[in-house]
Structures are given as structure tokens and as C-alpha cells.
Amino acid sequence: MLDDFLIRAGLAGLGTALAAAPLGCFVVWRRMAYFGDATAHAAILGVALSLAAGTPIFLGALVMALVMATLVTTLSSRNVAADTLLGVIAHSSLAFGLVAVSFLPAVRIDIVAYLFGDILAVGRMDLAVIWGGGGLVVALLCWRWSALLTATLGGDLAMASGINPRHERMVLTFSLAVVVAVAIKVVGVLLIASLLIIPAAAARPFARTPEGMAVLASGLGAISALLGLRLALVFDTPAGPSIACTAAILFAISTILSQFPGLRRG
């Protein structure tokens, strides 16, 4: 019989992966990988502000992720180079967050747990937040799936179909912020992108439809989370990085298998 903390850890990893993987498909399609990193890095500043104000960590991380994403979206529309802007905001917010934490001597905090995750310390309330936030993201993606796909194909096509591409981008921005906020406890801000991007990238060569890619990415994300957790327990390695390494191995296997034409998508 598994211990309670192992069951909670497995459920936390599963809930995070099932929400992150479908969203990761849009991140891959839209080439928003760096955007996801910047959003995750901004969350550490939200953690520091939450600790200072005595508010839930999830709330602070979510607010800061949304603020960062909105700031990038606004400034990038004013002819500011997107990659430069993302680089400045990502590293600046992470640095300010780490400095802000150092000004909280009265608060005992293991900053490594927020950088690389602490899935084995997940509690019942954390599980409720992870599955609640993950369920919200999945429901939002299902509701806006057609519009999101159309906007991803092209802004002109979206406008011709009566869809506001800016609105759909904000839907993705909000979803990304929620996933970042719920994933901090599982893999940490430095490894969140691994659950967003790697399962989707591994699923891409074998998917015939966007929906198929999302389902396959979810399956690979779930395998990465559960198998990575198992390997961490067997080899006594950090759980968050072990999950990311497992996802990377699955991507390597996918890349090798994709070289065989009979296994690729039609």
C-alpha cells in the first residue's frame, strides 16, 4: 500500500501534466516557449509578495504571471522586439523575486522548493488547487478550442471568421498563468516549461490532428510525471528534475522513432 504522501504526489503530478500538455500544444504551435519561461520566472516574484502579505502562494503567483503576460502583450504591440523584451522581463522578475525573498528574514522559506518543485510535500489543499486550476484550464481550452485553433493558424483568417485573435491570445495568457501557478509546487518555476513544451513536442510527429496531438501530449505528460516520480524514489533524486528528465527521454525516443516513416503521422 502506498503512503499517503506518495499518492498525493502522484495525483499532483498527474493533475499538472494533464493541464499543461494540451496548453503546451498551443505554446509549440505559436512558438511561445520563451513566453512560457518568462511567465514562470515572474511567478517567483509573486511568491515573495505573497509571503510578505500573508496571502496564498497560488494567488500571488497567478497575479504576477498575469501582470507579466499582460505587460509583454502590451509592449510587444509597440514595436518592441519580443525576444529582447521577454529576456529582460524573465530574468529581471526572477532576480527581483529572489532579492525580495532575502528581505523576509521572519519567514522561513526553502527557495529551492519553488525553483525546482517539492512535489513530495504536496498537501490536500495543494491538490485541490492543482486539480481545480487544471480543470479550469482544460475546460477553458475545450470551450475555446475551435477559436484558438483558428487564431493560431493566422490573424487574418481569425478576423475573417469573426474571431478576435487578441482575445484568444488573452485566453492562452490566462491559461498559461494558471498552469504556472499550480505547477510551482510540482516542478518549480525553472522546470515548468518542461511539462508545457516537451510532451507536446514529443507528440507532434505522431499526431494526425490537433486534437490527437493534445490527447497524446497529455498521455506523455502523465507518463513523465508518474514515471519521473517513481524514478526519483528509486534513485533518491530530486522529484521535479526527475520528471523533467523523464519527459526529455520520452522526447528523445519520439525523435528517434519519428525517423521511421511507417511510425510517423499520415
Instruction: Identify the band that residue 218 occupies on the pLDDT scale cut at 50, 70 and 90.
Output: very high
Average pLDDT of the chain is: 84
Place of cell 520566472: 41
Percent of the chain residues past pLDDT 70, beyond the cut:
90
* Res. 114: pLDDT tops 50: yes
Q: Answer for the pair 84, 75: CB distance below 8 angstroms, yes or no.
A: no
Place of cell 495543494: 126
Instruction: Identify the band that residue 158 occupies on the pLDDT scale cut at 50, 70 and 90.
Output: confident
Place of cell 522559506: 109
Q: 183-209 pLDDT, tens per residue?
A: 888 888 878 888 899 999 999 988 889
Average pLDDT in the 59-67 region?
A: 84
Place of cell 502562494: 57
Place of cell 490532428: 209
Could you tell me which of 74, 78, 87 has the C-alpha nearest to residue 33?
87
C-alpha cell, 125: 489543499
pLDDT given for residue 169 in this prediction: 85
* Res. 164: pLDDT tops 90: no
Q: How far apart are CA 239 and CA 130, in angstroms?
A: 17
* Res. 70: pLDDT tops 50: yes
Give the domains, in start order, of the chain with CATH numbers. Answer: 4-190 (1.10.3470.10)
Percent of the chain residues past pLDDT 90, beyond the cut:
30
CA trace torsion 53, 58, 63, 65 (10° rounding): 130
Q: How many CB atoms lie within 10 A of CB 61?
A: 30
Q: Answer for the pair 151, 163: CB distance below 8 angstroms, yes or no.
A: yes
Question: 9-13, 35-39, 194-198: lowest mean pLDDT where?
Answer: 35-39
Q: 92-111 pLDDT, tens per residue?
A: 888 888 888 777 766 666 67
Could you tell me which of 148, 137, 231 has the C-alpha nearest to residue 175?
137
Q: Which amino acid is at 195?
A: L
pLDDT given for residue 260 in this prediction: 77
Interior/surface letters 188-220, b for 16+ CB within 10 angstroms, e for the rest: bbbbbbbbbbbbbbbbbbbbeebeebbbbbbeb
Q: Answer for the pair 179, 19: CB distance below 8 angstroms, yes or no.
A: yes
Average pLDDT in the 228-240 region?
A: 91
